[in-house]
Amino acid sequence: MKKIFLAVIIFALVLTTAIIKNTTKKIEDQIFVVKENLRVQNSEFENILLEHDYLTSAEKLLEYQSLYFEDQLIQKKIDEIKFYNISKDFEKIEDFKIIKNNE
């Protein structure tokens, strides 16, 4: 009787250990996939951020203006800027407005 009871306990422990190891392996695989996706996304984000910072610096914009547009770009006053607003019901030209949000 003791031998059968001991054998059942050992079998149950081996079975639960196998189930736990299998579940842990699946979770580790999922974590690895998520980390790899995150690593790729971070790398892509850093490249895009570097490109944005490089291309939008004031010096670079002035350099691109002189290099590609020469005298084609002119400075406008802010009150000369207009917006063409297109909606389902109407189309109209509106003045440029600067709105400060106090949140």
pLDDT by residue, tens only, the chain of 103 residues: 888 989 999 999 999 999 999 999 999 999 999 999 999 999 999 888 888 877 777 777 777 777 777 766 677 777 777 777 777 777 777 776 666 666 5
Residue 25 domain-assigned (yes or no): yes
Residue 83 domain-assigned (yes or no): no
Residue 98 domain-assigned (yes or no): no
Question: Domain residues for 10?
Answer: 2-70
pLDDT value of residue 32: 96
Between CA 10 and CA 17 the distance in angstroms is 10
CA distances (Å), origin 37, targets 48, 73, 85: 16, 42, 40
Residue 88 domain-assigned (yes or no): no
Residue 85 domain-assigned (yes or no): no
DSSP alpha helix (H) spans, 1-103: 2-55, 58-64
pLDDT value of residue 74: 72
Residue 101 domain-assigned (yes or no): no
Q: Is the pTM of this model over 0.95?
A: no
Residue 91 domain-assigned (yes or no): no
User: How many structural domains comprise the chain?
Assistant: 1
